[in-house]
Structure 1
Amino acid sequence: MFGRGSKLYSILFLKCPRCHGGAFLEANPYHLKRFNKVKKRCPSCQLKYSIEPSFYYGSMYVSYAVGIAISAAVFILIQLLGLNLTPIHIFISIVVTLILLMPYIGAVSKLIWANFFFTYDPSIAKAKQDSK
């Protein structure tokens, strides 16, 4: 489920959607100088990450959905832990969590968007593994 070949592997580990070997971003999402900057090509399989100009604008919709999911998860976690927080404290908890996770949410959203358009190719991944 989480191994190479699953879209979840590519998304969670920020790897190329086609070979699951090369890095998707130029730097760690929390490296604010190069905040979520996507590489032009995969260093492993040479896949061009951007199909067209402004390709990753669509990831804003995915980012919104991921943010809502995280907000709901924080709310449910607060309820399950039995924390007796006022609505304003719950709101602050959600906002702080979203602010702290914002760089990772942006990176994951771009990868989810890319995984809609690129599919895993086991022959490329195997060829790269055999050449090592």
Structure 2
Amino acid sequence: MIKILNMLQFLKNIFSFKCPRCHKGNLFINKWYNITDGNKMVEKCSLCSQRTELEPGFYQGTGYVSYGLTVGISIVTFIAWIAATGYGFKNKEVLLWFPLNVILLIALQPWLMRLSRVLWLTMFFHGDDKFHPNNTKK
């Protein structure tokens, strides 16, 4: 039961865009729906001083994470579409799913970009102090 609660807390921290080290500090300066500066991150966590960019180009890998998220969402919406309308390529209803899916993914893109950054950062920091600025181990 405790493992489930820990996993739920972990997921809550990811989806609320909190620092992967202290789980309390905000990672982003603005709200996700701010089109111009929605992806602007703080340089370091205000509570634990953890840097958010380890090296130049650190977040280039988030493109792969974002791609995986969009493919996953597309698969889920396709399965839901098939379940709701019935399977059939002959009646061309499945062709209506594609533009609706594109509109959904465009609408979710700012949020997905943030989520992919948090997931990428969490992969490097979860339970690890190796990258903390106060770490004296070499």
Give the TM-score range, shorter chain.
0.7 to 0.9
How far residue 46 of structure 1 moved from its aligned partner, in angstroms, is 1.0
- Deviation digits for residues 13-52 of structure 1 (CA, Å, limit 9, x no counterpart): 1110111101111111111121311211111111001100
The total of aligned residue pairs comes to: 118
CA RMSD for the aligned pairs? 1.7
Equivalent position to 1:2, from 8, 13, 19 = 8
Residues 100-119 of structure 1 mapped to structure 2, 5 A cutoff = 100-119=107-126
1:39 lines up with 2:42 in the alignment: yes
Question: Considering only CA atoms, is the larger Rg found in Structure 1 or Structure 2?
Answer: 2
TM-score by length of 2: 0.78
Residues 48-127 of structure 1 mapped to structure 2, 5 A cutoff = 48-82=51-85, 86-120=93-127
CA distance in 1, matches of 2:85, 2:8: 31
How far residue 83 of structure 1 moved from its aligned partner, in angstroms, is 6.1
Paired residue type of 1:62: V
Identity, in percent, stands at: 33
CA distance in 1, matches of 2:117, 2:80: 26
TM-score by length of 1: 0.82
Q: Which has the higher contact order (CA 8 A, sep 6+)?
A: 1
Where in structure 1 are there 5+ consecutive unaligned residues? 122-132
Contact 2:85 2:93 in 1 (8 A): no
Contact 1:20 1:120 in 2 (8 A): no
